[in-house]
Amino acid sequence: MKKAKAEDSIITISVKGAGHECCQGLITKESYEIFKNQYINSEYIDNGWINFLDSELNLSGYYELSDILNVVGVTCDAEISIMSTEDNFPFEYVGEYSEEIGPLGGDSEKDSSYIGFADSVTQDYGKWISDTEYQNVQKLENKTLATFKTSEFFEVSIEISVENGSFELGKLNFMTVSSDSCGYGTDYGDFIVGVIYDNEKYYFDYPSASGTPFSIHFE
């Protein structure tokens, strides 16, 4: 990461809003039947899932069953802000992701004036279960896909150092992870995990394993 110099300005990019930790993993159908018959309990906010993982699979938390997907982030309807230490910074902004805020610069192929161009990094966080086409997914025999989500509220920031007066909005993209490009293609949300500026990646530092259980689904 580039070190700031005295003549540099600091661009602070923040996201704030509801989010999730989303974990997907495979268990055997036999294990699923054990969970359904012996552990599921609506009196618990997680329906007994964490107790099942500990007792039956020897896993210390929901985040350990994540061989298919593990992502933490705000959803794509979060509030974002772009601020700078630079005087008269022309791109200062607070508002929704993908709103119009002014002229782009730095990328001749992007002729609109919207921020929020998404660079998918889903492949770094999750995977398809099989190589079958999206519209004809064949589910694995003797396996059940479990998707566990927490409920969170995040407010995190990234600082980028640039030469004073050189920031170009067209060089700023948001990195996103799409859950429907993992597992069997079911949509459990899209998440903002960081930004790319001038071809360099910067990741938001989200806390993990700290949210309230929100939902669990099986396929």
Q: How confident is the model at residue 106 (pLDDT cuts 50, 70, 90)?
A: very low
Of 127, 130, 120, 137, nearest in space to 69 by CA: 127
Q: Which residues lie across from 213 on neighbouring strands?
A: 150
Of 84, 80, 127, 85, nearest in space to 101 by CA: 80
Q: Please provide the DSSP assignment of 27-53 as one string.
A: EEHHHHHHIIIII--TTSTTTTHHHHH
Query: Domain limits of the chain?
Result: 12-218
Q: How confident is the model at residue 112 (pLDDT cuts 50, 70, 90)?
A: very low
Q: If you average pLDDT over residues 106-127, what whole number do you get?
A: 70
d(CA 127, CA 164): 40
For tokens 């099989």, name the residue. 130
Identify each DSSP E strand in the chain by its residue range. Answer: 8-28, 69-75, 79-84, 93-96, 118-120, 143-163, 172-178, 190-197, 200-203, 212-218
Higher pLDDT, 42 or 152: 152
Q: Are 172 and 91 in contact (CB under 8 A)?
A: no
Q: Which of 5-14, 55-64, 139-148 has the lowest mean pLDDT?
A: 5-14
d(CA 128, CA 156): 29
Q: If you average pLDDT over residues 150-163, what whole number do you get?
A: 95
pLDDT at 180: 93
34 phi and psi, to 5 degrees? -65, -45
Higher pLDDT, 98 or 49: 49
Q: How much of the chain exceeds pLDDT 90, in percent?
A: 56
Q: Are 166 and 180 in contact (CB under 8 A)?
A: no
For residue range 39-97, what is the model confidence (pLDDT) as tens digits?
Answer: 987 667 678 899 999 999 999 999 999 999 999 999 988 999 999 998 888 778 888 87
Residue 155 has pLDDT above 70, yes or no: yes
Residue 198 has pLDDT above 70, yes or no: yes
From the CA atom positions of the chain, what is the Rg in Å?
20
Residue 2 has pLDDT above 60, yes or no: no
Of 206, 99, 213, nearest in space to 155 by CA: 206
Mean pLDDT of the chain: 85
Q: How confident is the model at residue 5 (pLDDT cuts 50, 70, 90)?
A: low
